[in-house]
Structure 1
């Protein structure tokens, strides 16, 4: 049996087993599982009206930054949440379904972020994150599509907004930009009315230590340079990719604080969640 076939069987196996586990938990305890639910009265349902789409007028004199954190719920998720809340900064968390269901605090974190909208938004970053095997994942389009649907069904992010694991692709109302590897999947997601959000710049990190590589000042300078020279995917709008785990320790979290404070010195800069990015398909 080929390695690709073994991979795809393993991926489908994870989807099946986690589906059975999740359904058995939700049948008994509801969507947040036994580790966070103490009594039925303590489950706070997020009202549908909270996420109703209302007219949102962009100020053309402003510069919009969409701070995004990938791969949560994970170490660093709650630290970044607390910091952004303190500084009054909006942020989007692209979450992995498997992390939410395998970590004790995962379901609580998802619920907390949902309750914190509109300051915070959760979005779909797949269920398995391709298990790190991106080429095999995207070569099996139907399995990859099912992987995203699993997260959409189990985490119930309020909007159909996705970020692909390990690939910078865009699918908006009138735009599709993707590499050959992921283009077939992007077309299928587009047909299913999903938006796919990429990024304009990334705060890089050491994959062994999870520590940020650029300083706070360098990241702020890089963001301003891209904005000044209209080098972003959409003029006056910049999506910044970071990862929760980069900021799990106080020193690294302080770097995030410093970058935000530098950017906030410019009155033209507005931090926003990605559901307000222009051109989304509703």
Structure 2
């Protein structure tokens, strides 16, 4: 009898300890669950070989309209390209900046104003998600030296193969960006693809997957700009402006451009997020201005009869 009672006491004690441990574990899990609230966290801008889009950790943001198959109607009151008298004795350089608004937008806008030269910003609607970034867009619009252009709303979410699998989806993403940023021009650069549909001429990227989307856009009177030369992105140490200037002159003089005597240079917003790098942009502009043969223009002045 004594043995049985001891065994019962041991069983009761073990059961009690297991119950206490279970309660503590459940309480801990509940506490942890309360602490793990969904948050929106913005990381540094993603980089690939060509372009970028912010990565936002949330499922509540608008999804990529590439999933939509129905083409929506383009917005009305789109500005028509300017008719500019071009001088056949001159060479034209078009300063273009992708992926804004971002940290470099303020410096870009300031330098274009102070140097009184034209440039073009290819904007991503998905990136304009704070009050400050939206203000950069408005500041650009108030600057007569800036052409506003379309770099899609989603920037393909950096998933280019999927993005370009639907020409209609790309078109819808362009239209969505027009509405989001209130863009009134039809100048477009496709994400991570050097594609042209301008001046009754066309040129595809080496990957070819963006061609159907570019053809659809051109059919709807959009002007798709690639680039002739790139100031390679390195936000920590930019190449010397003199080197970039020499590259520009070499390509113009040797007719290594999409349109003879017209060179479009690709740069990225985040390259100029520091005062030091912004001054390198100014140095390049001064070098170009001091060349009597070169004229700095926005893409609205590019020879632009669409096929």
Shared topology, TM-score over 0.5? Answer: yes
**Counterpart of 1:235?**
260
Contact kept? 2:223, 2:304, Cα under 8 Å: no
Sort the Cα spacing of 1:13 and 1:264 in 2 relative to 1 into closer, same or farther, 3 A: closer
| Residue pairs, 1:180-191, within 5 angstroms | 180-191=208-219
Q: Assess if the C-alpha contact under 8 Å between 1:71 and 1:125 holds in 2.
A: yes
| Root mean square deviation, CA, Å | 2.2
1:94 aligns with 2:119: no
Unaligned runs of 5+ in 2: 1-58, 66-76
Matched, 1:278 2:303: yes
Q: Show the counterpart of 1:248.
A: 273
Does residue 66 (structure 1) correspond to residue 94 (structure 2)? The answer is yes
Change (3 A) 1:212 1:225: farther
SS of residue matched to 1:258? helix
String of CA shifts for 1:234-265, please: whole Å, max 9, x gaps.
11110010011101101111111111111221
SS in 2 for 1:139: coil
> Equivalent residue for 2:229?
201
What are the residue-to-residue correspondences of 1:1-282 with 2, within 5 Å? Answer: 13-15=62-64, 55-100=83-128, 102-117=129-144, 119-179=145-205, 180-206=208-234, 210-281=235-306
Residues 171-213 of structure 1: CA distance to partner in whole angstroms, max 9, x if unpaired?
124122114211111111111111100000000023xxx2354
Q: From the superposition, tell whether residues 246 and 192 of structure 1 become closer, same or farther in structure 2 (CA, over 3 Å).
A: same
Residue 53 of structure 1 and its aligned partner are, at CA, apart by 5.1
Distance 2:160 2:257 in 1: 25
Instruction: Indicate the SS of the match to 1:70.
Output: strand
Instruction: Give ranges in structure 1 of 5+ residues lacking alignment.
Output: 1-9, 17-47
After alignment, is 103-112 or 219-228 more displaced?
103-112
Cα distance in 1 for partners of 2:199, 2:287 equals 33
Describe the SS at the equivalent of 1:146: helix
Q: Which has the higher helix share?
A: 1
Q: Cα distance, 1:59 vs. partner?
A: 1.1
Give 1:108 shift.
2.1
Distance change (3 Å), C-alpha of 1:212 and 1:235: farther
Q: Is the 8 A contact 1:203 1:212 kept in 2?
A: no
In structure 2, distance between residues paired with 1:55 and 1:213: 35
Please tell me whether the aligned partners of residues 161 and 194 of structure 1 are also in contact (alpha carbons under 8 angstroms).
Answer: yes
Shift of 1:54: 5.0
